[in-house]
A and B are shown apart, each in its own frame.
Chain A
Amino acid sequence: MTTTVRVLKYELHNVVRSRAVLVYTLFLFLLTDVLFRFGGEGARVVLSLLNVVLLFVPLVSVVFGTMYVYSAREFTELLLAQPVGRRSLFAGLYLGLALPLAGAFLLGVGLPFAIHAKAEAALWGPLSMLFAGGLLLTFVFTAVAMLLAILFDDRAKGLGGAILIWLGCAVLYDGVILLLITMFREYPLERPVLALTLLNPIDLGRVLLLLQFDTAALMGYTGAVFEKFFGTSLGRVTVLLALAVQATVPLLLASRVFRRKDF
């Protein structure tokens, strides 16, 4: 455990100092701030941030994460030469990557809200969903980054994989859904589509966030089916479970590979 903390400390130090995280924080801050100055009230800013959070956060998490794990390769190998448990080293590496990125997101988006937004009760739902979504996406995609960087020794392959996975989740997946919807038009699709949405963290984040707004009505009967599902305790448990699976499966895989890997 102490090893984890020590590695984590070192990593934190390292990552936080890295210019990329600073730029990331600043970018989020400026964007949110500008949205407030032009868009006005809180709920609309949250809605405008939707696509940023859904696209940008996973992209940065997975690409920066992969790059970072590669650059920490020598340091990792150095530590592995010491009597250090691989499990704790892995935990330290992951947390040292995910926590600064999560912090950057919280700070970059949170500060403008603290400065500009009025404390309205109506804002809490969408806002907490925005933060929960952003944080979970950070943890899911840094886990994926870890897996990729450990799986492939070739950096180009790892980076390519990172971008491919991002592209798949953010763009292609929805294309596949659309294709299925047109292919199986004769079937009642509300529930299968719901199930498909649960499998992709970006889609899940998008739908959960949209349901927080009255634009949910635009989703018609399909949206109503979703609202009902997420309103039940079974629905909530399923969502939490889905997110947990999406974060832990790549992480467990990565940890497994890491422990057996011959560096």
Chain B
Amino acid sequence: MSRLASLPAAATLLGAAVLACAAPGPVPIVLGERDCDHCHMTIADPRFAAELVTRTGKVYLFDDAGCLATFAVNGTVPPEQVQSAWVNDFRHPGTLIPAQDAAFLRTDAVRSPMASNLVAVPRSAGDSLRAALGGTLLDWAQVLADARAPA
């Protein structure tokens, strides 16, 4: 009896716990284990993997920065619900950098999983990467704008 009676209490507690301990942040990506939340391809290349974290602490994973951008603008998660977006440092796969602080190079020298051919590095490394690979440098806002109005 007591167990049943305590159910709503437990549920409330749980809800509170979720809200409280959700310090939203990115999670490490294990290759070959998850699908991209936009294109549903298996995430298998650490260089291009990306994440989107909501204010409620839910983490969406992507195999391509292009998928992240498309997902971010297509409204599945409303913009005001987005807490942060993360991309892998192309030169150090496994190191996540905030999308806002990244420089994106759209280049034909590299093939990304969903053919966006976007690679990300910390902003300070953008110019040297463009010098090495060629292509166009973009910032996150431009990448989002491109995703909104595809060429």
Contacts and interface: CB of A to CB of B under 8 A. Distances in A.
Q: Do chains A and B touch in the complex (CB under 8 A)?
A: yes
Interface of A: 148, 161, 164-165, 168-169, 172-173, 176, 180, 184, 186-189, 192, 195-196, 199, 221, 224
A168 B3 contact: yes
A161 B1 contact: yes
B35 to A, nearest CB: 9
A161 B19 CA distance: 34
Q: Which secondary structure dominates where chain A touches chain B?
A: helix
B123 interface: no
Nearest to B54: A186
Interface string B1-42: 101100100110011011100100000000001100000000
Contact of B14 (A168, A192, A221): A192
Nearest to A195: B14
Interface residues of B, number: 20
B63 to A, nearest CB: 15
B57 interface: yes
Contact of B58 (A188, A192, A199, A224): A188
| Residue of B11, B17, B58 with highest tally of chain A CB at under 10 A | B11
20 contacts: A165-B1, A165-B3, A168-B4, A168-B7, A172-B4, A173-B7, A176-B11, A180-B15, A186-B54, A186-B58, A186-B81, A187-B19, A187-B56, A187-B57, A188-B56, A188-B59, A189-B18, A192-B14, A196-B14, A199-B10
B28 to A, nearest CB: 12
Interface string B41-59: 0000000000000101111
Contacts of A148: 1
Contacts of A188: 18, 22, 56-59
A35 to B, nearest CB: 32
A221 B34 contact: yes
Contact of A186 (B10, B33, B34, B56): B56
Given A180-B11, A221-B34, A224-B33, A187 B3 contact: no
Given A165-B3, A168-B7, 13 more contacts: A148-B1, A176-B7, A176-B11, A180-B14, A184-B15, A186-B58, A187-B19, A187-B56, A187-B58, A188-B18, A188-B58, A192-B18, A199-B10
| Residue of B3, B18, B22, B33 with highest tally of chain A CB at under 10 A | B3
A164 B1 contact: yes
A165 B58 contact: no
A165 B4 contact: yes
Contacts of B54: 186
In the A-B complex, the 7 residue pairs with the closest CB atoms: A186-B56, A187-B56, A188-B58, A168-B4, A188-B57, A187-B18, A192-B18
A176 B10 CA distance: 11
Nearest to B35: A221
A169 B1 CA distance: 11
A189 to B, nearest CB: 8
A124 B95 CA distance: 42
A176 B3 CA distance: 13
A2 to B, nearest CB: 34
Contacts of B14: 180, 192, 195-196
A221 B59 CA distance: 12
Contacts of B1: 148, 161, 164-165
Contacts of B59: 188
